[in-house]
Amino acid sequence: MAARAYWSGNIRLSLVSIPVDVFPATKAAAKIAFHQVHKPSGSRVRYQKVVPGVGEVENDDIVKGYELDKGKYVLLEPEEIDEIKLEAKKTLELSQFVGVHEIDPLYYDRPFFVLPQEDEDTEAYIVLRDALRKTKKVALGQIVIRGKGMLVALKACGDGLMLESLRYADEVKKADTAFKDVPDAKPDEDLIGLAEELIKRKSKKFNPGAFKDTYEEALRELIDAKAHHRKVKQIDEPQPGAKVINLMDALKKSVRQDNEPGGGKSSRRAAKSKSHKKKSSKRKPHKKAA
C-alpha cells in the first residue's frame, strides 16, 4: 500500500503553482516502548479523562480552551479553528530565498521529501529544483500542517526537492548567551596542532550505519534475559579512562597510539634515530694533523 502523504498542496512561486505531496524523510526506529504497570496486581495502568464533580467524559464533549484567567477559558470549536488560514493549509508560497549556508543548523527541525503529484507537474518541479541548485539558494515559506503553523525551507536534494521545517526565532536560544561563561582564553598552539593531527587521521566519509545504539541493545538484552530467567549478557562498550592525565600527554599518547598499529611509523622513526645515534657514537675520532 502506498504511503500516505503527510501534507498535500501547492508550491507557488509567483504565478507558477506545482501540486505536490510531502512525505516524512525519517522513520521511527524499532525502539523499546514501556507501559506503566501496577506492580502488586501486574495490570496495566489506564488513564481516563475526568472532570471534577462530573466524572469520566466522552471525547465528543471535549473542545479546545484558552485560559484567560484562572479557571476562565475561551472555548474554540474544531470548525472555527479549521476555517482560519485556509490558504496556508493548502499552499506553500515561496516568499523569500536565502543562501544555502545562511541558515544556522539550530533552526532546522525535521526533513520531508517533496514529490510532484502528477506526471504533468514534473517539468515545473524539475525547473524549480535545478534553479535552486544552480543559484545555491533555499526557498522559505509558511504552511499549516495538522493544526500547526510551520516555517519551512525548500531545497534541492538529489533528484528531487526536500522540505525542512524550521524553528521560529523565539524557539531558539542564542549561542552567545549559552556560552557566556566559557573563558576567553587562547590555548597553546602545540595543543591545537596535536588535536588537528588527531582530527585529520580520524576523518572519513560519514557512514551512519557504522554507529549503533548500544543502550537500546543493552535494554533488549535485559528484557530478554528477564523473560527467559537467565543472567544478563554484558554489552561491550568503550569505557572512558578512569585516570585523569595531562592534556598534552593525552594528545601525544593518542597520536602515538593512532600511528602505531603494531609498531608503526613513530616507533620505526624512533628506532631508526636511536640506531643512527649508536653508529655515530662508535665512529673513531679523526687523528689530529701533526
Domain boundaries, the chain: 7-27+83-171
String of b and e for 262-282 (b: at least 16 CB within 10 Å)?
Answer: eeeeeeeeeeeeeeeeeeeee
Query: For residue 100, what is its C-alpha cell?
Result: 544555502
String of b and e for 42-74 (b: at least 16 CB within 10 Å)?
Answer: eeeeeeeeeeeeeeeeeeeeeeeeeeeeeeeee
Q: What is the mean pLDDT of each run of 10 residues along the chain (290 residues)?
A: 82 91 86 89 90 89 90 86 67 92 93 93 93 96 83 95 94 88 86 87 83 78 84 65 60 72 47 47 48
Query: For residue 263, what is its C-alpha cell?
Result: 609498531
Question: 19: closest CA among 89, 90, 67?
Answer: 90
CATH topology for 7-27+83-171 is: Ku70; Chain: A; Domain 2 (2.40.290)
Q: What is the per-residue pLDDT for 242?
A: 45
Q: What is the per-residue pLDDT for 269?
A: 46
What contacts 219, CB < 8 A, 6 or more positions away? 32
Q: What is the per-residue pLDDT for 290?
A: 38
Q: What is the per-residue pLDDT for 105?
A: 92
Q: What is the per-residue pLDDT for 264?
A: 45
Q: Whole-model pTM?
A: 0.65
How far is the C-alpha of 110 from the C-alpha of 116, rounded, in Å?
Answer: 20
Query: For residue 176, what is its C-alpha cell?
Result: 552567545
Neighbours of 116 (CB within 10 A): 19
Q: What is the per-residue pLDDT for 238?
A: 54
The residue type of 172 is: V
